[in-house]
Amino acid sequence: MNRLFYLNHSAINAHFTKNSKDFVVTEIPLYEFCGEGEHLILKVRKKDLTTWGMLEIFSKLTSVKVRDFGYAGLKDKDGMTVQNISMPKRMEHTLENFTHPNIKILEKTYHKNKLKTGHLKGNRFFIRLKKVNPTDAHKLKQVLKTLKKDGFANYFGYQRFGINGDNYERGRGILEGKIKERNKKMRNFFISAYQSHLFNLWLSKRVEISKLFNSFDEKELFTLFNFPKEIIKKIKAQKSFFKMLPGETLHHYPFGKVFICEDLDVEAKRFFEKDITIAGLLPGHKTSISTGLAGNFEKDFIKECENFIEKMNGTRRLAWIWADEIEHQYKEDEAWFEFSFSLPKGSYATVFLEELTHIKEKGF
């Protein structure tokens, strides 16, 4: 799908390959491990392996079933990843002589609980761009400053939709009863891709609306939108690029509970200060829609799934996020632009990279 960029700069020439030297992901744990307990915690570094592929290798060596390993997040095959996994402490002796060309155990400790999905603050990324000339390096530095200050749209990346980008179509077919998928895990995966597709459509439309509010005056906006003039004025006055609407579902940032916007002026100020953010909808029967104008926009994007919405649980996802701890350096002799940054869990470094360079992932 065509995800809309919110920045207006032209594409910045750069070459990126998602390999273990140019793309590194390091998990940021949610908490410190206590150092005691029945679970062995391994801090591992892997390359050119998915998390599942790595766990299968450990499973064969230790005789621990894959389901008995714990992990905070699944990582892609391409690139290098540093992450924590857990396994029963009683099987620690099976790792005494462990060696593997694509896996290295960096640290060991213990904890009272098994690691579970989502038990992390976020991830820190390192990216190396190649074939970058000095002019484009300067542009990259300037755009990074803007992204650090203003944030960016938290789209789902292409990884979510498969090599051909059509996983969501299979998910919709399953929900409509046109496609049979007996594997429950794969069934849920395809349905999730469909929900992600709807989220991206909604978010792209909201970016478009925000662009309009940032580009036109109140009189012009009144002709474009069927909003009361007072609401037009309140939205236009917001300092953030991404405009908040009345009745929005909001989320404490980066952690906390969701709540409904009752005072647009107050909450827009908190959004600008990065205290809260807007929570977009992944539709399902367990998640209520927003109210007011925000709810009307959500309804437009769930019309096509109304007949089978009971087959999806649904949830909320941070729609607008900020990268933290951005660092960069330009190595002119090699024509390399290297930078690192941290993102909340569930966010895509490649989406941040696309907004930075304005080159879609498949264009690298």
CA distances from 363 to 41, 96, 315, 359 (A): 38, 44, 31, 6
Whether 76 sits among the annotated catalytic residues: the reply is yes
User: Which of 22, 48, 68, 76 is the catalytic position?
Assistant: 76
Q: From CA 238, how far away is CA 242, in angstroms rounded?
A: 9
DSSP string computed for 225-259: S---HHHHHHHHT-SSSSPP-TT-EEEESSSS-EE
Instruction: Report CA-CA distances (Å) from 167 to 1, 47, 73.
Output: 12, 25, 21
Strand order of the β-sheet with 276-282 is: 258-260, 249-252, 276-282, 315-318
59-62 long-range contacts (CB < 8 A, ≥24 apart) are: 61/94, 61/95, 61/98, 62/87, 62/91, 62/94, 62/95
The residues assigned a catalytic role are 76
